[in-house]
Amino acid sequence: MERMLVVVFDAEKKAYEGMAALRRLEQEGSLTVYARAVVAKQADGATSTKQFDSGFPIGGLVGTSVGSLIGVLGGPLGVALGAASGIALGALFDLDNARVGGDFVEDVSKSLTANKAAVIAEVDEEWTTPVDSRMEALGGTVLRRALTEVRETFWNEQNAAMEADLAQLEEEASKARADRRAKLQKKIDELKARIVAQRNKATERRAAFEARQRAKKEVLGRNAAAAGRALEELAKTPV
């Protein structure tokens, strides 16, 4: 399953260790990584990209979901592609290209606070335990979200993505050892609550949209009636 993976660490050095661990996991066949980077949140709140995978040249993150998420996290002109390059990325990306929901960006932002660093990667993984176990051993906090196409069907796809994550977590929990099962169950409960909240938001958005559409029709109806009366009066006016 294609996912956005974010692992937040308390120190930049640990994030580099996390990047190396991600490479080893890929070599072991635990997952496939399409793009990855280490980012750091500065004391002033700016987000900067510190390291790429060696397979990606300068500017290689442009157009990827990873680059888009970094841009969203940093905001316009808030992301520099390393201190040497000075390439501003924030203005080039948006949430749609990141292929994740706004709630996921909020979660990452709350976790990636000042003076912390993170590994951000676009991956394809079948099980969460290999990454979680390795990153937790390094002191990392793992956040992930299944990637969607994020077009007209954005909210439906977001819900489907979370449902897919939930199904996989539940399957994994059923086969896990007791100590691991407890950790997975906590994630399952949190994801279930997020799905309910997402559905409620979708219902509210749908109701608001329908209300706006009705209001538009009423306004158009009043304007049409007013225009008709004006034409009638104009027709009665002597030349």
217-239: pLDDT as tens digits = 664 465 455 546 555 655 665 54
166 and 122, same domain (yes or no): no
195: tokens are 């799905």
Q: Which secondary structure element, helix H or strand E, spans residue 80, and what is its range?
A: strand 79-80
Phi first, then psi: give them for residue 80, nearest 5 degrees: -110, 140
Quote the CA–CA distance of 39 and 154 in Å, as a whole number: 27
Q: What is the pLDDT of residues 62-79, one digit of tens each?
A: 556 787 788 888 754 333
Q: What is the pTM of this model?
A: 0.59
Residues 83 and 187 in one domain: no
Whole-angstrom Cα distance, residue 46 to residue 204? 33
205 pLDDT higher than 90: no
Residues 133 and 155 grouped into a single domain? no
- Residue 1: which domain range? 1-147
Last residue of a domain, one of 119, 147, 175: 147
Provide the number of structural domains found in the chain.
2
- Considering the domain architecture, whether residues 207 and 90 belong to the same structural domain is answered as no
User: What's the average model confidence in pLDDT over 36-57?
Assistant: 78
109, 131, 147 - which closes a domain: 147
pLDDT of residue 63: 56
Whether residues 135 and 156 share a domain: the answer is: no
Q: Are residues 134 and 43 in the same domain?
A: yes
**Domain boundary residue, one of 123, 147, 171:** 147
Condensed to tens digits (0 to 9), the pLDDT of residues 103-162 reads 888 899 999 999 999 999 988 888 999 999 999 999 999 999 998 754 545 667 777 888
Average pLDDT over residues 90-107: 68
On whether both 135 and 93 belong to a single domain, the answer is yes
